[in-house]
């Protein structure tokens, strides 16, 4: 299960990195490439941390826990790159951002050098896992790693939350908030990791289940980072796709009512090239045409049937309106107008805007299909 969890998130990270790389190639910029490196580094780190990959790798090179060193190295590189991106966003052309980026890079080199030295030293007594090892060098390794990582994600969390408050772009704001939340979980992971290392050194019980502290927390952190860093690109597309589906579904639901009305009142449909219209425009046009055709049949609406209305529920009111329309269509075909006609009644909460108008007429169309099938059923028995 742990391997599957790490590998699924690794696939998510590497997919996000590839997505960002395509955008960075189209519009090259340092922040875009830095975030691409971040996602690639974190993706490789999760691949290396998966037991299904780690055990064969360590056995092949005869170096226990090499996957831990490589995975932690990639994690710190990713943390450094995401800091560079966020520092650039807050100060895109200032010397302060360049100076701060250099500082984090220098600290990264120092941390990686210390971790590599401590790792080599710990090979004299190889443990099953660094977190389970109680030697001074493995404890120092863990503390160097979590100190840099905690400092990095703390800074990233602060910068993300601060910048999110000042951007007007909805998806950029949401993405930065998700990055900030992911960094906050990363801080929690660092604190728990450091506490457990110290607790094992002091022969105390570690905090929390291992799968939560060693897998769920970092996986959740990275998942939020990849989603938050890419949502600005695919979020608007997903929203447009959802809007297209909503328009298409509404357009189809209005079809039965529109088709029946068009048979008896084709004069209410102005000619137009439908191929040039978007699905949203087609839906809007269909709503207008249904309204115009219902008005055309006003003289054929039976006042007695319309008087049955007054129901409070949408389904009941739509059923009454569908019955009136079905009767008016039949009367139009037979050429017998109703005495005086009947007013077109729409529940007060509907018809005030496009969304409520569409909901109302979709309900009428669904009820109309039921009414028509009920009327045609008995005829088919004769």
The pLDDT of residue 349: 61
Residues found in the chain:
382
Q: In the numeric block, which tokens belong to residue 41? A: 């580094």
The pLDDT of residue 357: 86
* Alpha helices (H) along 254-313: 255-264, 279-296, 303-306
Q: In the numeric block, which tokens belong to residue 16? A: 């996000």
Low-confidence ranges of the chain (pLDDT < 70): 1, 90-95, 123-134, 306-312, 339-352, 375-382
Please say whether the beta carbons of 265 and 293 come within 8 A.
Answer: yes
Residues 37 and 183 in one domain: yes
Q: How far apart are CA 45 and CA 67, in angstroms?
A: 8
The pLDDT of residue 379: 47
Please say whether the beta carbons of 258 and 294 come within 8 A.
Answer: no
Q: How far apart are CA 181 and CA 223, in angstroms?
A: 11
Q: How many domains does the chain have?
A: 2
Residues 6+ apart with CB under 8 A from 75: 41, 42, 45, 149
Residue that terminates a domain, selected from 208, 237, 266: 237
The pLDDT of residue 225: 86
Q: How far apart are CA 25 and CA 8, in angstroms?
A: 26
- Kindly report the pTM of this predicted structure: 0.74
Residues 58 and 157 in one domain: yes
Please say whether the beta carbons of 90 and 67 come within 8 A.
Answer: no
Residues 172 and 266 in one domain: no
Q: Is residue 7 part of a domain?
A: yes
Q: In the numeric block, which tokens belong to residue 161? A: 């939350």
The pLDDT of residue 76: 93
Q: Is residue 180 part of a domain?
A: yes
The pLDDT of residue 247: 94
Instruction: Give me the sign of the Cα torsion angle 217, 108, 162, 39.
Output: negative
Q: What digits encode the pLDDT tens for the residues 339-374?
A: 655 556 666 566 667 888 889 899 999 999 988 877
The pLDDT of residue 286: 93
Residues 287 and 202 in one domain: no
Please say whether the beta carbons of 147 and 166 come within 8 A.
Answer: no
Q: Is residue 79 part of a domain?
A: yes
Cβ burial of 329 (10 Å; 0-12, 13-18, 19+) is buried
Range of the domain at 310: 254-380
Residues 73 and 132 in one domain: yes
- Hunting for tokens 């080599």 — which residue is that? 120
Residues 71 and 126 in one domain: yes
The pLDDT of residue 380: 44
Please say whether the beta carbons of 52 and 26 come within 8 A.
Answer: no
Residues 231 and 258 in one domain: no
Q: Is residue 249 part of a domain?
A: no
Q: Is residue 209 part of a domain?
A: yes
Residues 346 and 373 in one domain: yes
């Amino acid at each position: 299960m742990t391997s599957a969890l790490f590998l699924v998130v690794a696939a998510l990270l590497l997919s996000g990195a590839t997505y960002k790389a395509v955008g960075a190639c189209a519009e090259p910029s340092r922040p875009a490439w830095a975030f691409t490196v971040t996602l690639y580094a974190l993706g490789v780190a999760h691949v290396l941390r998966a037991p299904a990959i780690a055990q064969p790798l360590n056995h092949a090179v005869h170096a226990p826990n090499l996957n831990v060193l490589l995975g932690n190295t990639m994690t710190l590189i990713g943390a450094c790159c995401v800091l560079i991106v966020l520092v650039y966003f807050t100060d895109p052309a200032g010397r302060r951002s360049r100076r701060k980026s250099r500082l984090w890079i220098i600290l990264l080199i120092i941390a990686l050098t210390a971790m590599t030295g401590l790792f080599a030293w710990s090979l004299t007594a190889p443990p099953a896992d660094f977190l389970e090892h109680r030697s001074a060098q493995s404890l120092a390794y863990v503390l160097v790693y979590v100190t840099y990582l905690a400092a990095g994600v703390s800074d990233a969390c602060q910068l993300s939350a601060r910048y999110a408050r000042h951007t007007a772009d909805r998806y950029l704001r949401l993405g930065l908030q998700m990055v900030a939340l992911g960094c906050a979980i990363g801080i929690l992971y660092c604190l728990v990791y450091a506490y457990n290392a110290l607790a094992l050194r002091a022969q105390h019980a570690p905090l929390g289940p291992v799968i939560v502290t060693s897998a769920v927390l970092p996986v959740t952190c990275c998942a939020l980072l990849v989603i938050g860093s890419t949502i600005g690109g695919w979020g608007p597309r997903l929203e447009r796709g959802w809007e297209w589906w909503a328009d298409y579904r509404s357009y189809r639901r209005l079809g039965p009512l529109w088709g029946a009305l068009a048979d008896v009142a084709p004069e209410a449909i102005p000619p137009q090239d439908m191929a040039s219209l978007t699905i949203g425009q087609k839906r809007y046009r269909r709503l207008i045409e249904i309204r115009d055709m219902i008005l055309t049949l006003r003289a054929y609406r039976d006042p007695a049937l319309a008087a049955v209305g007054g129901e409070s529920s949408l389904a009941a009111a739509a059923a009454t309106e569908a019955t009136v329309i079905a009767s008016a269509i039949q009367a139009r075909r037979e050429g017998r107008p109703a005495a005086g006609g009947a007013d077109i009644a729409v529940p007060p909460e509907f018809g005030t805007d496009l969304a409520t108008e569409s909901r109302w007429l979709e309900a009428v169309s669904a009820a109309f299909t039921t009414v028509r099938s009920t009327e045609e059923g008995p005829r088919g028995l004769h």
